[in-house]
């Protein structure tokens, strides 16, 4: 797996879906493999903070996260597409992020945490202003770091309540393409 995309929005066909499709298109143009994961469609239990993962390297729960963590292990690039929900990431994506603590524990126990792959943040906010992305970028940058991915770029698009459709933003597709290409090279 070359590129793993977490499409964090529960809205099919929305702006995050469009961003994810642009990432897929660019990945295909470079003859690389990809997978898109929709956290809101998965069976993911909430982390209970039991720390079994830091004792054994595995989570106490056996749900869809077992497969997701295996997919993350093999990805070279991790792309997070997320809308801003109440100044943070949507609940489904946050569940996935929290449960990846088991993978961080595995990396810590095995000493394989220094792999340093590449991670991207693509995010949209309805309101204008860069401050609306503060929590999203904070959560995602910490998440990427915990999993051994180097934050390698971000595209943060605000004011979507007025614009509605990101395809109306001149040059945005080219920016997404360029940032993805930078990670693939």
Task: State pLDDT tens for residues 115-133.
Answer: 789 999 999 999 999 999 9
| Rounded average pLDDT over 168-181 | 98
Residue 8 banded pLDDT, cuts 50, 70, 90: very high
Does position 93 have pLDDT exceeding 90, yes or no? yes
pLDDT of residue 112: 83
Q: Furthest-apart CA pair in the chain: how many Å?
A: 50
d(CA 71, CA 63): 14
d(CA 92, CA 3): 20
For the record, the structure tokens of 99 come out as 């449960």
Task: Please choose, from the candidates 87, 122, 84, 102, the residue with its C-alpha nearest in 3D space to the C-alpha of residue 44.
Answer: 102
What's the whole-model pTM score?
A: 0.96
CATH of domain 3-184: 3.40.50.360
pLDDT in tens, 33-52: 999 999 999 999 999 999 99
User: What is the domain partition of the chain in residue ranges?
Assistant: 3-184
């Amino acid at each position: 797996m070359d590129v793993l995309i977490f499409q964090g929005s529960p809205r099919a066909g929305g702006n995050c879906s469009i961003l994810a499709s642009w990432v897929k298109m660019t990945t295909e143009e470079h003859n690389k493999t990809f997978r898109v994961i929709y956290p809101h469609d998965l069976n993911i239990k909430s982390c209970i903070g039991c720390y079994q993962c830091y004792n054994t390297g595995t989570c106490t729960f056996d749900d869809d996260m077992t497969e997701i963590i295996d997919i993350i292990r093999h990805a070279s690039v991790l792309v997070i597409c997320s809308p801003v929900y109440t100044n943070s990431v949507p609940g489904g994506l946050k569940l996935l992020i929290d449960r990846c603590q088991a993978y961080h524990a595995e990396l810590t126990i095995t000493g394989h945490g220094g792999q340093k792959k590449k991670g991207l943040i693509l995010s949209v906010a309805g309101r204008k202003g860069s401050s609306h992305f503060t929590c999203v970028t904070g959560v995602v940058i910490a998440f990427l770091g915990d999993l051994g991915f180097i934050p390698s770029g971000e595209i943060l698009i605000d004011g979507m309540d007025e614009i509605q459709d990101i395809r109306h933003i001149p040059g945005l597709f080219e920016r997404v393409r360029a940032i993805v290409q930078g990670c693939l090279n």
